[in-house]
Amino acid sequence: MNNVIKTLIILICTCSYLSLDVKANIFIDVRVNDQIITNYDIQIESAYIKILNPDLQNITKKQLYNLSRKNLITEIIKKSEIVKFVNIKQKNPLIDNYFEDLYKRLGYQNENEFLSMLKNKNSYTKDQIKNKIKIELIWNELIYSKYKNQVKIDKKKLSEKVNSLNNKLYKEYLISEIVFRKVKDKTIEDLKSEILLSIKEIGFENTANIYSIAESSKFGGKVGWINANNLSKNLLIKIENLENGKNTDIIKISNSFIILKKNDTKIKELKINKEKELEKLINFETNRQLDQFSKIYFDKSKINYFVNEN
């Protein structure tokens, strides 16, 4: 059966569960090759990303709509790529763990509380969210399999860094990030100005949702608590003198740019387990490089897809 016909059948079946008023207002907003995204899909995605980042209540409807549409386009392309290499129907035992981590990270005590909220917000079902998690997990596995041999870790340099540490007081910073690169039809200077203006007008978290290309964008750019020793010298200099709640200027990193926000600071006593610290540094650097490879691979893949936005 032709894929376009399949897609239309799915759309018709979906509409059969909706009220007449909702059905009458559904239209196709985007086509990604032979797959479609409706305004109703975007509405559901909008509800979901506002759950992930409540600060999105403060952005305009148009900004939220465009962000949700971009997320769905990205998801379609990622899924279309991974099915070329993996049987996506296979069970992945990690999905349940990631689902639990998700609702606990959002502050829900248990699964039922989270699912009840989803229903009230007219967002995704449990299975739909697990499917989104599966796509991201398999995508990350694909990136790892493709690029693991290109990850360059200077273990000697990291070991020297760990060996220089002694039991002492150290700082941790609660950090958020906005990562971006030059985009088509816009100079990098214009993009920088646009992002900085957006931070002033709608806040750092909302701007991260709209502009950041990092995975953390789904959570308003929130990275979490970062040991000061895990930051590069360049980033540490920028962060340590900032007041809590303030963000850095734009920092050039490789082929990308980053803006960091220091949300909070705490001082802890560092009891060094040098083996574990080295492992943390290696994982941190590995994930950073894989994240870069993920962006590169996605950009290359996207070229092969025809995205028609109405």
Residue 175: Cβ-neighbour burial (10 angstroms; 0-12, 13-18, 19+)? buried
68-89: per-residue pLDDT in tens?
999 999 999 999 999 999 888 8
Task: Indicate the SS3 state at residue 125.
Answer: coil
C-alpha distances out from residue 190 to 135, 195, 227, Å = 33, 9, 33
User: Does residue 171 sit in the same domain as residue 124?
Assistant: no
**Model-wide pTM > 0.85:** no
Q: Which two tokens stand for residue 213?
A: 């290309």
Q: Which residues of 198-235 are buried (b: 16+ CB within 10 A; e: fewer)?
A: bbeebbbbbbbbbbbbbebbbbbbbbeebbbbbbeeeb
Confidence band (pLDDT; 50, 70, 90) for 229?
Answer: confident
Give the domain CATH number at 253: 3.10.50.40
Q: Which of 70, 52, 19, 29 is nearest to 221 (CA)?
A: 52
Domain around 252: 166-265
Q: Which two tokens stand for residue 252?
A: 């050039």
- What does the pLDDT average to over 108-124? 89
Residue range 211-224, pLDDT digits in tens: 999 888 888 999 99
Rounded Cα–Cα distance for residues 183 and 213 (Å): 11
User: What span, in angstroms and rounded, lies between the C-alpha atoms of 63 and 210?
Assistant: 7
> What pLDDT, on the 0 to 100 scale, is given for residue 228?
87
Do 25 and 137 lie in one domain? The reply is: yes
Residue 237 has pLDDT above 50, yes or no: yes
If asked whether residues 171 and 90 sit together in one domain, one would say no
13 shares a domain with 128: yes
- The predicted pLDDT at position 2 comes to 46
Residue 10 is predicted with a pLDDT of: 45
Q: Largest Cα–Cα distance in the chain?
A: 68
Same domain? 39 vs 142? yes
Which pLDDT does position 41 carry in this prediction? 93
**Cβ neighbours for 80, distance < 8 A, ≥ 6 positions apart:** 32, 33, 35, 305
Q: Locate 168 and state its tokens.
A: 């002492």
135/34 same-domain check: yes
Tokens in use for 183? Answer: 């985009």
Q: Which amino acid is at 155?
A: K
Region at 143 (left for phi over 0; alpha for psi -120 to 50; beta for the rest): alpha
List, for residues 138-176, the tens digit of each pLDDT value: 999 999 999 999 999 988 888 888 887 766 677 899 999
CATH of the domain at 118: 1.10.4030.10
The answer to whether position 159 is within a domain reads: no
Question: Are residues 101 and 21 located together in one domain of the fold?
Answer: yes
Same domain, 137 and 79: yes
| Residue % of the chain over a pLDDT of 90 | 48
* Angle, CA of 60, 63 and 65, to the nearest 5°: 105
Rg (CA), the chain: 21
Number of domains in the chain: 2
Residue 285 lies in a domain: no
Q: Which residues have C-beta within 8 Å of that of residue 235, sequence separation ≥ 6? A: 251, 258, 260
Could you give the 3-state DSSP secondary structure of residue 104? helix
Task: Express each pLDDT in 1-45 by its tens digit.
Answer: 444 444 444 444 444 445 444 455 888 899 999 899 999 999 999
Q: Quickly tell me which residue has 């979490």 as its tokens.
A: 224
Task: Examine the pLDDT at 279 and tell me if it is beyond 80.
Answer: yes
Provide the pLDDT for residue 24: 52
One domain for residues 139 and 248: no
Closest CA to 43 of 131, 116, 121: 121
Predicted confidence at residue 270, as pLDDT, reads 62
Are 51 and 110 part of one and the same domain? yes
State residue 127's pLDDT score: 92
In-domain check, residue 294: no
pLDDT of residue 257: 92
**Looking at per-residue confidence, does 16 or 124 come out higher?**
124
Mean pLDDT of 195-206: 93
Predicted local distance difference test score (pLDDT) of residue 166:
67
pLDDT computed for residue 6 by the predictor: 44
